[in-house]
Amino acid sequence: MNGSEPSHAEACGTTAPPPRAPTETRVHAILATELRSGLAELPVLSQAVGEVMAILQERELDYERIIATAETDPALSARLISFANSPIHFRQMKVSSVRSALVRLGPQAASEALFIAICSSVFQVPKFREHVEQIFRHSVVVARLAAHMASLCGYNARAVFLAGLMHDAGRCVCLNVAAHGTLKNEPLNEETERDLFAAIDDLHTAAGAKLAADWHLPAEVGEACRWHHEPSTYQHARLVHIADMIAHHAEDPESIDAEQIVAGFAGTLLDEHILMELVESAPKHLATVAAL
Ligand SMILES: [Fe+2]
Ligand SMILES: [Fe+2]
């Protein structure tokens, strides 16, 4: 057929309209306006949680200060204790105090648990529970992979873990706005849902960066939220970008090819073998996160 000739469907006027760019939809406009205007009900950090977050930024962890501060926040204490009693960490007897929870977890899992407990308010949007739980599992896998890469590169693994954990927090912020703002009364039919998730794909990076700024998180966390979808010159964002792709491969091997990931990043920060090991370790992380 000549390139300039219309197809049969075009000639008959039956061509499906081209998909709309997410920025052209009404749902996108509403979501963008409500995020910008500050109508979003952003989760807030309690004073105790903010203090624990600040202690976790220090090079040497002061567990006595962490325990003393965490114990003043019943919700944080409860989350830490339940984390230590989860199937993956359970050892014969249940723990019932913050101190015994942190002792059982050990240094690395304890700092993971503290970050997860602190950030858990982000991952609570009852109307979109399944989506948010999926984002949570994905975020923990990204955090673990990125932190592992950071330790191999000699960076601060704890800081990178937080950046990985928060990288898609903007998705939850957007879902929160959709659950409580103008869109709350919209029937979630196929078209609205498609427009909503396309809008979230577009808006979640800025929404996450704003949340990181509101929570006074280190600049690197905001950078990772803002730039994790592109190869960035920001170190944390770059590690999170690679970890994000590895996690997507583990979640859906069809979505992105492992060799493409390895070939794309080998030599820039890590060598080919280490990248392949990370790709192979990702399903194990995914399985353990499901048990949290
Ligand atoms: Fe993302
Ligand atoms: Fe992600």
For the stretch 228-250, pLDDT in tens is 998 778 889 999 999 999 999 99
More confident residue, 273 or 19: 273
Q: What is the rounded CA–CA span in Å between residue 104 and residue 78?
A: 15
Does the structural domain 24-33+120-290 have CATH classification 3.40.50.720? no
- Whether residue 10 is predicted with pLDDT greater than 50 in this model: the reply is no
DSSP symbol at 15 = P
What is the Cα gyration radius of the chain?
A: 21
Contacts 24+ apart (CB under 8 A), 38-45: 39/177, 39/181, 40/173, 40/176, 40/177, 40/181, 40/207, 41/176, 41/177, 41/180, 42/173, 42/176, 42/211, 42/214, 43/121, 43/122, 43/124, 43/176, 43/211, 44/121, 45/118, 45/121, 45/215
Q: Which ligand gives the minimal distance to the CA of 204? A: 1
Distance 240 CA to ligand 2 centre (A): 8
- Whether residue 60 is predicted with pLDDT greater than 90 in this model: the reply is no
Q: Spell out which residues have Cβ within 5 A of ligand 1, the ion.
A: 168
Distance 197 CA to ligand 1 centre (A): 12
Q: Which ligand gives the minimal distance to the CA of 137? A: 2
Distance 121 CA to ligand 1 centre (A): 18
Contacts 24+ apart (CB under 8 A), 185-191: 186/27
Query: What pLDDT, on the 0 to 100 scale, is given for residue 148?
Result: 94
Distance 171 CA to ligand 2 centre (A): 9
